Amino acid sequence: MAIVQNIVNTILPSFAFDYVAVLTQDYKQVFKDARPLKAIVKEEAKLMEHPVETGITIVDHRIILPIEIEISLILPSADYKNTYNQIRELYLNATLLIVQTRSGVYLNQLIQSMPHEEDPSMYDVFSIALSCKQVQFVTASFSNTPAKSSNTNTADRGTQQSKTVSRPTAAQQIRNKLLGR
- The tens digit of pLDDT for each residue in 67-116 reads 999 999 988 877 788 899 999 999 999 999 999 999 999 999 999 999 98
CATH number of 16-134: 2.40.30.200
- Distance, CA of 61 to CA of 71 (rounded, Å): 31
Side-chain-facing half-sphere of 69: CA atoms under 13 Å: 25
Question: By CB neighbour count within 10 A (0-12 exposed, 13-18 middle, 19+ buried), where does 96 fall?
Answer: middle
- List Cβ neighbours of 121 (8 Å cut-off, separation of 6 or more): none
Strand 21-24 relative to strand 97-100: parallel, antiparallel, unpaired?
antiparallel
DSSP symbol at 20? S
pTM > 0.75: yes or no: no
